[in-house]
Structure 1
């Protein structure tokens, strides 16, 4: 099994997907979004309608990276007694920056309620709602989300846990691939098309499984397993194509194309700085810097959307209905999110990585 190391495509996709999700939420919430839409209607409408598709990139990559992590345990006689430890450690890995972002968002929402009369700010958070978020149960219990995007963290933990269970349940990777392929197809063509399942892993496991198959097809030591995983990827792609005869689901195509990109280029390293142009080298350094901080940026950005809308209204700038000011504040949210993410990564995420059972 190949060792994990910083890889260009994975880092690029992380940064790109996180940025698109931030822009999608900026185009969705508050007076800033409304005035920016009047100023740049095509751009804002595109981000609003299609920016959410970036979640598919996160899901496929999450499946790819989770398989990279969990197959190490499986190949080392991954036993059932270690299963709970692995699942809890994953929870701890997600928890610290997640809870820090939640607390900060609650404080920002408290400030925003003095000036912003908008549904996206939400009502005063209750203790039961907060506790449900701590254990990733808010979606299952039907509670309002404290922050945009935190549902994804709960789903990521569900999917990782399910994959861990599958790896110790199946005695062979051949059986695992067949089962995952069937479940992925059912998810992509049925469960993912009904909102009643969106709080559960089954709604998202189709895209996640494409990442699992892409990793096995590229990196598994046994060539037969690689071949079977490639065959499964192709078969699922054909079924996605055939399903367009009934209805076109662009997010399924995006997930499949991301899986194929990881299959082809997933192990491509960063270009050597000695053979790249100075501007290109700076861009590569920026991607390498932003990639490990993308999770924190994803978690914290909604708080800055709350603050930006508060400043916009409390200062009276909203009275001008200036799209240029709104777009400037959007840029400020992106920059502030990156700065805050850098501190969260250094002060919270890195130290919390030592929290393991």
Structure 2
């Protein structure tokens, strides 16, 4: 696609806001003060808000198919530069957000804010593990909420890239790349996603990601019979997965993938309603997602330390946390994502995180 899809920007904006509100409801302590007043809303955000991650997984697969195999066959003959570019694009804003998270954790701890949402002072190996996106594999404590998703996103992209590249080596079977990914999607939905111990690996999430890739291929095939074949296959994979075990997250992933197909076929981007604020937020959703937790933690600490039982102060605090997260995400986007991603910029931010971790550990 040569232009941005406004509809998908809107979806990302809404999903991002839901994740921000979910973490505010889940971690507290401002939400704990307000829960007796708004039990339904905060309970729903606490329990179901995290499901918005499924939208990002499906959209991630959708755009991965567009970048790696828009017509079903691998575009790239050399995977090294592609994988390196993806790593740098993910890790530039991620590294900056990690540095902010470390600073905020130490600041609120110095204020005497004692809460489960405050991470322990990081060790050298924990910081390095986060920078290499392997913190979940080694069971290091997360420095910020949501950092696991960055690691999973990179795993999923790398897995699909490597498989498509391998399938390119066998030109006699041009459909091998798509076939292998469909089979892997089925295995994830029907087997791997049923085992929660695998949730640190891409295989656990490949079902939602693969449905997103299938949605791209369904939307962009020129043949109607192939299009409806993809839709039928998506329905089959999702339906069988839900018959094996009802999982709301898989239902949401399936519905999202099918909605992408319907939107792409019958509601082109140019006809989608124009909501500039949502478009703006959608373009910055990754940065908002990365920076929202340290921003919310800072607001939580300030409100709790000064007005611990005030309903009004805590309600305004929740609103301020959301608004400040969006503003902080916009600034992070400007610093990192608007700049051309280079290994030099990546190195500078990585060194900044290591320095921040060292200062935090030695103070």
**TM-score over 0.5 (shorter chain):** yes
CA contact (8 A) 1:37 1:323 kept: no
- 1:174: how far off? 2.9
Aligned partners of 2:291, 2:312: CA distance in 1, in Å?
24
The whole-number CA distance in structure 2 between the counterparts of 1:214 and 1:265 is 10
Distance change (3 Å), C-alpha of 1:181 and 1:71:
closer
Residue 95 of structure 2 is aligned to residue 94 of structure 1? no
Q: Please, which of 116, 119, 133 is the counterpart of residue 116 of structure 2?
A: 119
Q: What is the rounded CA distance, in whole Å, between the counterparts of 2:216 and 2:329 in structure 1?
A: 28
Aligned to 1:253: 251
Per-residue CA deviation, residues 281-319 of structure 1 (Å, 9 max, x unaligned), is: 5xx11111111111000000001121012101332x00x
Would you say the 8 A contact 1:28–1:48 is kept in 2? yes
Q: Which moved more, 1:323-332 or 1:124-133?
A: 323-332
Distance 1:75 1:182, change over 3 A: closer
Counterpart check, 1:85 vs 2:81: yes
The alignment yields a C-alpha RMSD, in angstroms, of: 2.2
Counterparts in 2 of 1:116 and 1:77: CA distance versus 1, 3 Å: closer
Distance 1:355 1:226, change over 3 A: farther
Structure 2 CA distance for partners of 1:289 and 1:163, relative to 1, 3 Å: same
Q: Which moved more, 1:191-200 or 1:12-21?
A: 191-200
Deviates more, 1:154-163 or 1:221-230: 221-230
Deviates more, 1:161-170 or 1:322-331: 322-331
What's the counterpart of residue 275 of structure 1? none
Q: 1:7·1:266 contact (CA, 8 Å) conserved in 2?
A: no
Alignment correspondent of 1:312: 303
Preserved contact between residue 156 and residue 206 of structure 2 (Cα < 8 Å): yes
Distance 1:4 1:37, change over 3 A: farther
> What is the CA–CA distance in structure 1 between the aligned matches of 2:72 and 2:238, rounded to whole Å?
27
1:13, distance to aligned residue in structure 2 (A): 1.2
Q: 1:18 aligns with which of 16, 19, 39?
A: 16
> For each residue in 1:129-183, what CA deviation from the matched residue of structure 2 results, as whole angstroms up to 9, or x when unmatched?
0110001000011111000001100100000011111211224453333322222
Equivalent residue number for residue 214 of structure 1: 215
> Which position in structure 2 is the counterpart of 1:198?
199
Q: Which of residues 146, 158, 162 is equivalent to 2:159? A: 162
Measure, in 1, the Cα distance between the counterparts of 2:226 and 2:59.
20
Aligned counterpart, 1:189: 190
CA contact (8 A) 1:56 1:251 kept: yes
Alignment length (residue pairs): 338
Q: What per-residue deviation string (whole Å, max 9, x for no partner) do you get for residues 89-130 of structure 1? A: 100011111000000011000011132211220211111101
TM-score (norm: length of structure 1): 0.88
CA-to-aligned-CA distance 1:17-56 (integer Å, 9 cap, x gap):
1111000000011321211222211100100000010010
Equivalent position to 2:332, from 333, 344, 349: 344
| Stretches of structure 2 lacking an aligned partner (at least 5 in a row) | 347-363
Name the counterpart of 1:52.
50
The alpha-carbon deviation at position 226 of structure 1 amounts to 4.0
Three-state SS of the structure 2 residue aligned to 1:39 is: coil
